[in-house]
């Protein structure tokens, strides 16, 4: 009742819109109906991109219904109207390629979804304009990150069932026990104990340097209190056991060695053993003084154990990530500071020369002053005394504030973005897993559909999720099995 | 001409055979969702047989179809759903591609409601959109929870029926709510002054010049300052006690953080007095002295009392509590930095002559002072290595401190904004309550009256529409010749200056013009109230609509229904509720979600809207009028002049504000006012349908805008004259809310206060247009509501569609045809 007049008016208006309205031309126009939105398009226009679906449609002979039905979802021969069961909104954007030669994504449409539409219409992705591409790449990056996260989660979930009996199975068990605190209660306990050991050993390291707590040995040398020494030994013992177990159970030794956290672990325990060997064996080979110096130097390396905390804190990991990401900005910061230090220390040195009791004795010495001033720390051990020198100092700390503040902003930005993203990724990955589980449940014939109101029926399969990772195809069956068992 | 499935014409429902035949003969189906037409293959819908659309395929009877959708038309193969069209696009795409994406602008909450309605689980949402969706949803849920909590707290302040409730309530308001009255404000200022004074006295007390020497040779307080202190403490004590006495819930009062601070501010004084008095003889003992000193230091806590009077301080406290995670991070970073740098500098400096870096714990102090860039200079490195470490320490300190700060700052600003908004909400609510107490708002009365009349209405209105119409006509005939609306209502009161209650009664009874007499102002207020009441409900009943679909719904939402009364068709209620509900929900949403939502909606409203709206707007409008005609016709030949009037007020009321609003509108309003103005003069013979067509359409458009603004359509090639008017409406109503949101208490109060009399005046005076003038922009909101009805009304009765209808609907809003029509 309504449809007839409407389509007439729409076709007439669209034809008058599209061209001067010659009758012949109107005959040749093809009208398409995309999910209820009707459009009339001229074949010449469509043929600009002969690869595209619409151009193929325009070119195919009117009688070949097979071809037509393969290209579109429904066809009305008398009106020569093709029906497509697609999203009209996206199509409105995509059809612009015929007019302007480029596609702009409408705001609000999910880029991933839009790409699928473009693929359907067989418009090459390269026609997507640059301004919208950044949007797309951003989304794709995010998807990749989610995929990574999912892979990690899947690794965690992976059971030991797949492994055959024997050493490999043990290896995997130990690895999960040491590396994945979430996997079991025992693993969590181990993680907490490890954390406590790090704390204790750090405290012991600090306490050991307090003179009151040190004892003098026979030669008058101060050495650490025996109790503290014992605690230290226990801690190192624990760290060593931990490290060896990790190393032994690591699936890939090379990757294990190259990992930053493991290097830190190694540095944390290495000095102890080196000192041990030096004190027992070294005396035979070299002078006592040398040995002691070496021991002292190695003591500094104990500081590395503080970094071991990073394994247990996501905040620290975020920090390292942010610093890694903003390497350029850090370089910028150091460069600004370096230039500032050179300029202002030189200026300060020259300006203070006139004063008889100057604290600026040489340019390298005034570097220290420049750093302390530019970072607005200002110890007061060196300070300018002449008026010119004071002016210089004022300028230098103003510049210092700016030099620090400018490059720091991107670093902070990186940090905040990563920090916030971490939370989002977590939920996204979890839901992705759920989705996979759901789909695998549907695939298994016996599996009862979990959600009653929203399952695909058996005949028409949904296409896989866009974010589907090849790795997961094999895995998700087992995941589902595991979940359903548990 | 009467179509199957349109209930308003009371035709028989179609046979199942017809339905099956209609489904079989076409491969496609047309889905009209909130006015937006979609065409889709049945095959596509079959992919998800358990969802709402999937079920539609299997429905073969009238009842089952009506359960699934809101209306349908077999001839057109079209099914109508009264839902938000914006979300539907993505949902339909889910059927097509198997991938559920979400429009970027969609509110996560409303999207999840839509998903619920269409029976799709949110788990299918693609990962790319999922992250955003869940983040937003969690955020919203959190915010809603918080809002509901504060509301509950406010509710919890109800006073029990113990002695002198009235007085206690007044006292409580006086002490706790500085904005409630002038006296309370003064009291708050005095309180602040006392706090400042006592703090100053406290610090002056420690000046050696002002101290006295007591008998033990120890310095004690200056007697004058001690007096000041005593007065301040007396004030604080009195304040605390009064608060405690007047508080509705003693235990909650005791637990409140601000009250704990108050207690801590006054307790030390009493403890000190107690200690000194009881131990006068042993005061020289060092221990007692030290305890007294400690308690004296605790007096400084009173500076925290300022938090009661400052939103900023409170949000600072909230922020710190909320971002303890980030604070922990900050401290962890600092601790690690201090640890590392102090041990490094210790090893670098320890061999130096008389170094101050004696041990690692000793150099902690240096590292702290350096990392925070304070730099006292009491310890500083001297060796080259130490200086290098020091330089690195400075830079690392700057970095490490700067990193977590922005997150905390973010939390703070969020909280601050939130706090501000809540303050405003409370203010608004208080103004509302005050107005209610004064009796200037009739909304409560309406509700009550309606509650009483509803059963009657159910029976009478649905069955005896015709009778009503006759009555109305009669009323009109018998009453004054002046065509006031009141004269048409069946339950006429004896005098025009009727009380509010009888007034409302009439209002419900008059089906066609039910909403027009009620002041738009009060509708506004009602909406506000609704918002408050539903605050909690949105959480607990995400699927309101599906619930109300049931037969029980009739009595469910009385207030909503009140407006819907005017529709005689029995099914109308349920769908009507659907709409009203959606709107009220969305209004809640917009209120709850912060200012950005306002911005967003206004952005939408500016965006020009393409094709669909005009079609929809025109089409129901026409049908409404046609139905008017058909209803009126049986009664007998209507007196043209008066029947005109029945329609003309609307036209005028709508067009007037438009005229004042923008130039663009003028074209359109000219169209509307033309015929209606003619009719007001009683020029009589102008075609009834004509005038009503125009006026109706003008009315329709804003309603459509409500729908379409949310659905983001591509911008049209040609701007429409219709649409701008629509948006001014929408904008106006929004800004109305914003006005209420901001501190225009007086405005809010004035409006309702003056409106009843105003209204009555308007009613008695024959010139309705005058009254509408007076009300000004306010009734935009009303008209929108009216539209709500109308559209429903007409959608129910999609019968006998006229010829113009086709044209308009056929051409989707291209201005050309619209102009032709006009």
CA distance A453 to chain B (A): 5
CA distance A55 to A48: 8
* A10-19, B32-41, B79-88, B232-241: least confidently modelled range: A10-19
At CB < 8 A and 24+ separation, what contacts does B122-125 make?
Answer: B123/A431, B123/A434, B123/A435, B123/A438, B123/A451, B123/A454, B124/A435, B124/A454, B124/B94, B124/B100, B125/A431, B125/B100, B125/B101
User: Is residue A464 pLDDT above 70, yes or no?
Assistant: no
CA distance B383 to B361: 19
pLDDT, tens digit (0-9, with 9 covering 90-100), for B526-559: 555 555 555 444 444 444 344 444 444 444 344 4
| Partner-chain contact B344 A303, CB within 8 Å | yes
Mean pLDDT calculated for residue range B164-171: 77
Question: Which of B171-180, B486-495, B595-604 has the highest average model confidence (pLDDT)?
Answer: B171-180
With cut-offs at 50, 70 and 90, classify the pLDDT of residue A335: very high
| Partner-chain contact A368 B92, CB within 8 Å | no
Q: What is the DSSP letter of B607?
A: S
Alpha helices (runs of H) in B178-323, residue ranges in sequence order: 182-204, 223-246, 250-255, 257-278, 286-298, 311-322
Q: What is the pLDDT of residue A251?
A: 80
Contacts of B307 (CB under 8 A, 6+ apart): B258, B261, B313, B314, B317
Secondary structure string (H, E, C) spanning B532-574: HHHCCHHHHCCCHHHHHCCCCHHHHCHHHHHHHCCCCCCCHHH
**Cβ neighbours of B102 in A, within 8 Å:** 110
How many percent of chain B have pLDDT more than 90? 2
User: Is residue B292 pLDDT above 90, yes or no?
Assistant: no
Mean pLDDT calculated for residue range B504-520: 39
The two three-digit tokens of residue B644, written as one number: 């005109």
Q: What is the pLDDT of residue B318?
A: 80
User: Is residue A450 pLDDT above 80, yes or no?
Assistant: no
With cut-offs at 50, 70 and 90, classify the pLDDT of residue A339: very high
Considering only CA atoms, which of B75, B90, B105 is closest in space to residue B33?
Answer: B90
Q: What is the pLDDT of residue B108?
A: 78
Name the B residues in 19-78 with CB < 8 Å from any A CB: 27-28, 30-31, 37-41, 44, 46-51, 73, 75-76
Q: What is the pLDDT of residue A329?
A: 87
| Partner-chain contact A419 B30, CB within 8 Å | no
| Partner-chain contact B39 A428, CB within 8 Å | no
Mean pLDDT calculated for residue range B798-806: 39
**Mutate which of B33, B93, B362 to disrupt the A interface (most A C-beta within 10 Å)?**
B93
| Partner-chain contact B360 A83, CB within 8 Å | no
User: What's phi and psi for A140, nearest 5 deg?
Assistant: -65, -40
Contact yes or no for B624/B793 (Cβ under 8 A): yes
> Does ipTM surpass 0.90 in this model?
no
Q: What is the pLDDT of residue B655?
A: 40
Q: Considering CB atoms only, which of B27, B358, B373 is closest to A377?
A: B373
Q: Which H or E element spans position B635?
A: none
Work out the angle between the directed axes of helices A387-443 and B405-438 (0-180°, nearest 10).
70
**Cβ neighbours of B136 in A, within 8 Å:** none
Mean pLDDT calculated for residue range B645-656: 40
Contacts of B268 (CB under 8 A, 6+ apart): B295, B296, B298, B299, B301
Distance of CA B510 to the CA centre of its chain: 30
CA distance B597 to chain A (A): 16
Q: Which of the two residues, B262 and B794, has the higher pLDDT score?
A: B262
CA distance B160 to B152: 16
Q: What is the pLDDT of residue A178?
A: 80
| Partner-chain contact B333 A315, CB within 8 Å | yes
**Mutate which of B2, B27, B39 to disrupt the A interface (most A C-beta within 10 Å)?**
B39
User: What's phi and psi for A20, nearest 5 deg?
Assistant: -65, -15
Contact yes or no for A370/A345 (Cβ under 8 A): yes
With cut-offs at 50, 70 and 90, classify the pLDDT of residue A227: confident
**Cβ neighbours of A74 in B, within 8 Å:** 27-28, 41
Confirm or reject contact between A315 and chain B (CB < 8 A).
Answer: yes
Classify each residue of B264-279 as buried b or exposed e, where b means 16 or more C-beta atoms within 10 Å of its C-beta: ebbbbbebbeebeeeb
Residue of B nearest to A105 (CA): B714
Angle at B530 between CA B525 and CA B536, to 5 degrees: 145
Q: Which of the two residues, B44 and B730, has the higher pLDDT score?
A: B44
Q: What is the pLDDT of residue A234?
A: 92
| Partner-chain contact B816 A376, CB within 8 Å | no
The two three-digit tokens of residue B483, written as one number: 């065509």
Q: Which of the two residues, B440 and B563, has the higher pLDDT score?
A: B440
**Cβ neighbours of B324 in A, within 8 Å:** none
Confirm or reject contact between A99 and chain B (CB < 8 A).
Answer: no
CA distance B517 to B477: 19
Pairing between strand B28-33 and B78-81? parallel
Mean pLDDT calculated for residue range B306-330: 82
| Partner-chain contact B129 A110, CB within 8 Å | yes
How far apart are the two ends of chain B, measured CA to CA in Å?
Answer: 25
User: Is residue B212 pLDDT above 80, yes or no?
Assistant: no
Contact yes or no for A31/A38 (Cβ under 8 A): yes
**Cβ neighbours of B131 in A, within 8 Å:** 142, 146, 424-425, 427-428
Considering only CA atoms, which of B316, B417, B328, B401 is closest in space to residue A415?
Answer: B401
Mean pLDDT calculated for residue range A274-283: 77
Q: What is the pLDDT of residue B588?
A: 40
Confirm or reject contact between A455 and chain B (CB < 8 A).
Answer: yes
pLDDT, tens digit (0-9, with 9 covering 90-100), for B125-134: 777 777 777 7
Contact yes or no for B18/B87 (Cβ under 8 A): no
Pairing between strand B219-220 and A215-216? unpaired
CA distance B715 to B727: 14
With cut-offs at 50, 70 and 90, classify the pLDDT of residue B440: low
Q: Which of the two residues, B462 and A376, has the higher pLDDT score?
A: A376
With cut-offs at 50, 70 and 90, classify the pLDDT of residue B707: very low
User: Is residue B674 pLDDT above 80, yes or no?
Assistant: no
A285 CB neighbour count, 10 Å cutoff: 9
pLDDT, tens digit (0-9, with 9 covering 90-100), for A25-46: 445 677 888 877 888 888 788 8
Quickly tell me which residue has 């839509």 as its tokens: B114
| Partner-chain contact A416 B123, CB within 8 Å | no
Contacts of A221 (CB under 8 A, 6+ apart): A292
Q: Which of the two residues, B189 and A182, has the higher pLDDT score?
A: B189
At CB < 8 A and 24+ separation, what contacts does B727-730 make?
Answer: B727/B605, B727/B606, B728/B658, B728/B661, B728/B662, B728/B665, B729/B701, B729/B702, B729/B705, B729/B780, B729/B783, B729/B784, B730/B601, B730/B605, B730/B702, B730/B705, B730/B706, B730/B784
Considering only CA atoms, which of B2, B122, A310, B518 is closest in space to residue B106?
Answer: B122
For the CA atoms of B492, B494, B495, B496, the dihedral, rounded to the nearest 10 degrees, stands at 10
* A165-174, A254-263, A402-411, B611-620: least confidently modelled range: B611-620
Q: What is the pLDDT of residue A282?
A: 63
**Cβ neighbours of A142 in B, within 8 Å:** 128, 131
| Partner-chain contact B812 A10, CB within 8 Å | yes
CA distance A453 to B546: 14
Work out the angle between the directed axes of helices B612-632 and B779-796 (0-180°, nearest 10).
70
Q: Considering CB atoms only, which of B99, B120, B347 is closest to A113?
A: B99
Q: What is the pLDDT of residue A91?
A: 84
User: Is residue B34 pLDDT above 70, yes or no?
Assistant: yes
Q: What is the pLDDT of residue B90?
A: 82
Confirm or reject contact between A261 and chain B (CB < 8 A).
Answer: no
| Partner-chain contact B406 A10, CB within 8 Å | no
Confirm or reject contact between A10 and chain B (CB < 8 A).
Answer: yes
User: Is residue A475 pLDDT above 80, yes or no?
Assistant: no
Confirm or reject contact between B439 and chain A (CB < 8 A).
Answer: no
Q: Which H or E element spans position A463?
A: none
Q: What pairs with residue A33 in β-bridges?
A: A38, A83
Q: Considering CB atoms only, which of A116, A303, A427 is closest to B97?
A: A116
What is the set of domains in chain B, with CATH numbers?
16-153 (3.30.710.10), 177-309 (1.20.120), 320-425 (1.10.287.70)
Contact yes or no for B96/B719 (Cβ under 8 A): no
How far apart are the two ends of chain A, measured CA to CA in Å?
Answer: 58
Quickly tell me which residue has 């103003």 as its tokens: A398
Considering only CA atoms, which of B711, B702, B728 is closest in space to residue B790?
Answer: B702
User: Is residue B106 pLDDT above 70, yes or no?
Assistant: yes
Q: What is the pLDDT of residue B20?
A: 77
DSSP characters over B127-175? HHHHHHHHHHHHHHHHHHHHHHHHHHHHHHTPPPS-TTHHHHHHHHHHH
With cut-offs at 50, 70 and 90, classify the pLDDT of residue A171: confident
Separation in Å, CA B272 to CA A296, B194, B261, B283: 55, 20, 18, 12
Contact yes or no for A196/A185 (Cβ under 8 A): no
CA distance B575 to B66: 11
The model's pTM is: 0.57
Q: What is the pLDDT of residue A443?
A: 60
| Partner-chain contact B399 A411, CB within 8 Å | yes
Considering only CA atoms, which of A323, A319, A335 is closest in space to residue A403?
Answer: A335
The two three-digit tokens of residue B815, written as one number: 């201005």
């Amino acid at each position: 009742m309504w449809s007839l007049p409407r389509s007439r008016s729409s076709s007439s208006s669209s034809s008058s819109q599209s061209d001067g309205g010659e009758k012949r031309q109107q005959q040749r126009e093809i009208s398409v109906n995309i999910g209820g939105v009707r459009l009339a398009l001229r074949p010449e226009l469509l043929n600009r991109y002969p690869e595209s679906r619409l151009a193929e449609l325009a070119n195919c002979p009117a009688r070949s219904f097979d071809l037509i039905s393969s290209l579109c979802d429904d066809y009305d021969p008398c009106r020569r109207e093709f029906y497509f069961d697609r999203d009209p909104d996206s199509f409105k954007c995509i059809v612009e390629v015929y007019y302007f030669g480029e596609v702009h994504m409408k705001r609000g449409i999910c880029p991933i979804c839009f790409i699928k539409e473009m693929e359907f219409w067989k418009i090459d992705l390269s026609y997507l304009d640059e301004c919208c591409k950044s949007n797309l790449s951003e989304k794709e990056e995010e998807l990749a990150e989610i995929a990574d996260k999912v892979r990690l989660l899947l690794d965690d979930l992976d059971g030991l069932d797949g492994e055959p009996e024997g050493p490999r199975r043990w290896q995997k068990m130990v690895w999960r026990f040491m590396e994945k605190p979430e996997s079991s209660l025992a693993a969590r306990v181990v993680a907490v104990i490890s954390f406590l050991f790090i704390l204790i050993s750090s405290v012991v390291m600090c306490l050991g340097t307090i003179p009151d707590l040190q004892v003098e040995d026979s030669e008058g040398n101060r050495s650490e209190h025996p109790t503290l020494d014992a605690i230290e030994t226990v801690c190192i013992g624990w760290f060593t056991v931990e490290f060896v177990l990790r190393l032994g159970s690591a699936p890939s030794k090379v990757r294990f060695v190259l990992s930053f956290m493991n290097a830190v672990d190694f540095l944390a325990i290495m000095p102890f053993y080196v000192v041990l060997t030096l004190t027992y064996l070294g005396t035979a080979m070299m002078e006592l003084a040398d040995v002691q110096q070496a021991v002292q130097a190695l003591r500094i390396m104990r500081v590395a154990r503080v970094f071991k905390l990073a394994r247990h804190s996501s905040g620290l990991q975020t920090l390292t990530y942010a610093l890694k990401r903003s390497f350029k900005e850090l370089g910028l910061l150091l460069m600004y500071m370096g230039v500032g230090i050179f300029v202002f220390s030189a200026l300060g040195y020259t300006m203070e020369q006139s004063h008889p009791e100057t604290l600026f004795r040489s340019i390298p010495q005034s570097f220290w002053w420049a750093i302390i001033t530019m970072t607005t720390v200002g110890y007061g051990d060196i300070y300018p005394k002449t008026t010119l020198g004071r002016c210089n100092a004022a300028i230098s700390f103003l510049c210092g504030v700016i030099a620090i503040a400018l490059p720091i902003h991107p670093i902070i930005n990186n940090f905040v973005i990563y920090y916030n993203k971490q939370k989002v990724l977590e939920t996204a990955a979890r839901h992705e897993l759920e989705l996979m589980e759901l789909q695998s449940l549907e695939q298994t014939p016996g599996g009862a559909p979990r959600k009653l109101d929203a399952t695909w029926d058996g005949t028409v399969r949904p296409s896989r999720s866009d974010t589907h990772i090849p790795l997961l195809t094999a895995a998700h069956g087992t995941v589902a099995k595991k979940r359903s068992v548990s | 001409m009467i179509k199957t499935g349109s209930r308003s014409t009371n035709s028989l429902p179609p046979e199942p055979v017809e339905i099956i035949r209609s489904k079989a003969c076409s491969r496609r189906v047309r889905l009209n969702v909130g006015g937006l037409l979609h065409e889709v293959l049945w095959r596509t819908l079959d992919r998800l047989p358990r969802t709402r659309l999937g079920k539609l395929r299997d429905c073969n009877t009238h009842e089952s179809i009506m359960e699934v959708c809101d209306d349908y038309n077999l001839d057109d193969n079209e099914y109508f759903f009264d839902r938000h069209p914006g979300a539907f696009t993505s949902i339909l795409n889910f059927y097509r591609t198997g991938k559920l994406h979400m429009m970027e602008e969609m509110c996560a909450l409303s999207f999840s409601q839509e998903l619920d309605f269409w029976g799709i689980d949110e788990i299918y949402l693609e990962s790319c959109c999922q992250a955003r969706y869940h983040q937003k949803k969690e955020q919203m849920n959190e915010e809603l929870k918080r809002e509901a909590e504060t509301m509950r707290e406010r509710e919890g302040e109800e006073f029990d029926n113990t002695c002198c409730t009235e007085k206690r309530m007044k006292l409580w308001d006086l002490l706790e709510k500085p904005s409630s009255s002038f006296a309370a404000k003064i009291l708050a200022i005095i309180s602040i002054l006392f706090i400042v004074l006592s703090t100053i006295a406290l610090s002056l007390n420690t000046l050696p010049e002002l101290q006295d020497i007591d008998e033990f040779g120890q310095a004690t307080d200056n007697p004058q300052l001690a007096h000041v202190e005593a007065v301040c403490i007396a004030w604080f004590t009195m304040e605390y006690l009064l608060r405690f006495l007047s508080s509705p819930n003693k235990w909650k009062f005791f637990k409140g953080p601000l009250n704990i601070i108050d207690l801590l501010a006054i307790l030390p004084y009493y403890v000190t007095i107690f200690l000194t008095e009881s131990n006068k003889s042993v005061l020289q003992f060092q221990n007692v002295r030290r305890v007294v000193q400690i308690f004296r230091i605790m007096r400084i806590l009173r500076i925290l009392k300022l938090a009661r009077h400052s939103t900023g301080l409170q949000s600072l406290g909230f922020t710190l509590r909320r971002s303890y995670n980030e604070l922990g991070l900050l401290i962890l970073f600092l601790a690690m930095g201090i640890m590392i740098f102090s041990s490094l500098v210790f090893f670098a400096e320890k061999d130096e002559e008389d170094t101050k870096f004696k041990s690692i714990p000793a150099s902690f102090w240096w590292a702290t002072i350096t990392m925070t860039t304070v730099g006292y200079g009491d310890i500083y490195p001297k060796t080259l290595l130490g200086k290098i470490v020091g330089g690195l320490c400075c830079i690392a300190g700057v970095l490490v401190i700067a990193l977590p700060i922005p997150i905390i700052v973010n939390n703070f600003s969020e909280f601050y904004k939130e706090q501000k908004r809540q303050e405003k909400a409370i203010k608004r609510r208080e103004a509302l309550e005050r107005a209610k107490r004064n009796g200037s708002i009739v909304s409560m009365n309406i509700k009550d009256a309606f509650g009483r009349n509803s059963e009657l209405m159910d029976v009478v209105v649905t069955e005896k529409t015709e009778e009503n119409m006759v009555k109305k006509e009669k009323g009109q005939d018998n009453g004054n010749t002046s065509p006031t609306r009141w004269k048409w209502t069946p339950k006429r009161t004896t005098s025009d200056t009727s009380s509010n209650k009888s007034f409302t009664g009439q209002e419900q009874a008059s089906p066609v013009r039910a909403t027009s007499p009620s002041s738009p102002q009060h509708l506004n207020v009602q909406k506000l109230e609704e918002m408050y009441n539903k605050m909690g409900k949105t959480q607990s009943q995400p699927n309101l609509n599906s619930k109300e679909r049931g037969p029980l719904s009739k009595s469910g939402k009385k207030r909503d229904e009140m407006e819907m009364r005017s529709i005689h068709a029995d099914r109308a209620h349920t769908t009507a509720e659907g709409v009203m509900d959606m709107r009220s929900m969305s209004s809640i949403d917009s209120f709850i979600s912060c200012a950005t939502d306002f911005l967003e909606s206004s952005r939408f409203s500016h965006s020009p809207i393409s094709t669909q709206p005009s079609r929809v707007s025109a089409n129901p409008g026409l049908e409404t009028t046609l139905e008017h005609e058909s209803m009126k016709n049986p009664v007998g030949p209507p007196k043209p002049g008066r029947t005109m009037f029945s329609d003309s007020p609307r036209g005028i009321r709508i067009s007037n504000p438009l005229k004042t609003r923008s130039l663009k509108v003028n074209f359109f309003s000219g169209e509307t006012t033309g015929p209606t103005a003619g009719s007001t003069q009683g020029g009589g013979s102008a075609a009834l349908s004509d005038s009503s067509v125009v006026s109706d359409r003008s009315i329709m458009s804003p309603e459509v805008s409500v729908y379409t603004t949310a659905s983001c359509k591509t911008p049209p090639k040609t701007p429409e004259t219709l649409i701008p008017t629509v948006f001014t409406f929408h904008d106006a109503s929004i800004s109305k809310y914003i006005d209420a949101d901001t501190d225009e208490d007086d405005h809010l109060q004035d409006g309702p206060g003056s409106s009843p009399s105003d209204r009555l005046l308007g009613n008695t005076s024959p010139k309705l247009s005058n009254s509408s003038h007076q009300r000004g922009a306010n009734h935009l909101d009303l008209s929108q509501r009216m539209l709500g009805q109308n559209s429903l009304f007409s959608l129910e009765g999609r019968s006998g569609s006229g010829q113009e209808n086709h044209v308009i609907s056929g051409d989707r809003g291209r201005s050309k045809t619209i102009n032709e029509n006009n």
